[in-house]
Amino acid sequence: MKVLIFVKDSQTAIETSRKIEEFLKGKGISTEVFVNLRGNRCRLNLKDKDLLLVIGGDGTFLAGARLVAKHRIPILGINEGRFGFLTEVEKENAFEVLELLLEDKLSIQKRMMVCAYIKRGGKQHFLGDYLNDVVVSKSTIARMLELDAYAGKDFMMRVYGDGIIISTPTGSTAYALSAGGPIVYPLSENLLFVPICPHTLSNRPLVLPSGFEIRIVNLSPDNMAFLTLDGQKGMALKKGEEIIIKKSKHYCLMYPNPKRGFFEILKEKLRWG
């Protein structure tokens, strides 16, 4: 078995990774560790890996998911961040969960991803696959955006407001939730359309089938709108440019925490009664 380990660049995460690496090597398992993934992507060899361990927060997990999805490498997330919706395993339970994984006693979940494109200068460019969300929002200027939204060939609505979030079910507990969107069970396959602070109060969030292709057309002046992908990549948009979002052919394969179900995580993270 060959294990790739992505580690958040923090002292506690690095210490945890060293203990886990020692544990795995004691089992005869080959490991390859990368701290601060951003500067090391050119060195990655993903073709022969059996598992990705993410030791960090949800941001580290999202970066890892984008890299390994097309290689069908399953991910186990160990929480060294704040919320831990994706890095579900607390470090205190990491070795127990790893033992279950090595004994083939854990099941893999398939989480839907979306792929995004930008139509710019008459050409359509692929932007990548994303696990959480694709967001068109305001840049630094505090003025309303004007955006047209389409589902397939059908015009949905014109949004005057701070922007639009297109989220996966996994991303429904992220930015979309803060903007008033619904929580969707993460193994569902849907697209969430969530206007951000719409000026028209009847512009409500929508849950759409995953087969829809959503188009967002920027009608705002150049550089007023900004595209953000999984909260980590982005670019300014010009007037008339289009963002196209649809279900990806790739999935994020992940091992959930066998000790806690989805509703237990919601109770803990969102402080439900």
Element (H, E) at 16: helix 11-26
Domain count, the chain: 2
* Residue 138 and residue 99 share a domain: no
- Per-residue pLDDT tens digits for 141-166: 778 999 999 999 999 999 999 999 99
* Residue 122 and residue 245 share a domain: yes
For residue 59, say whether it is annotated as part of any ligand binding site.
yes
For residue 173, say whether it is annotated as part of any ligand binding site.
yes
* Residue 144 and residue 88 share a domain: no
Helix axis angle, 94-102 to 11-26, nearest 10° = 40
**pLDDT for the residue numbered 51:** 98
Report whether pLDDT(44) > 90: no
DSSP 81-133: SSS-SSS-EEGGGHHHHHHHHHTT--PPEEEEEEEEEEEETTEEEEEEEESSE
* Residue 192 and residue 241 share a domain: yes
Q: Which domain holds residue 232?
A: 113-249
* Residue 222 and residue 155 share a domain: yes
Rounded CA-CA distance 111/130 in Å is 11
* Residue 245 and residue 131 share a domain: yes
- CATH code for position 186: 2.60.200.30
Q: pTM value?
A: 0.94
Catalytic residues: 58
* Residue 121 and residue 22 share a domain: no
* Dihedral over alpha carbons 15, 21, 27, 31 (to 10 degrees): 170
Report whether pLDDT(42) > 60: no
- CATH code for position 84: 3.40.50.10330
* Residue 187 and residue 240 share a domain: yes
For residue 228, say whether it is annotated as part of any ligand binding site.
no
Report whether pLDDT(173) > 60: yes
* Residue 73 and residue 99 share a domain: yes
For residue 230, say whether it is annotated as part of any ligand binding site.
no
* Residue 216 and residue 123 share a domain: yes
For residue 178, say whether it is annotated as part of any ligand binding site.
yes
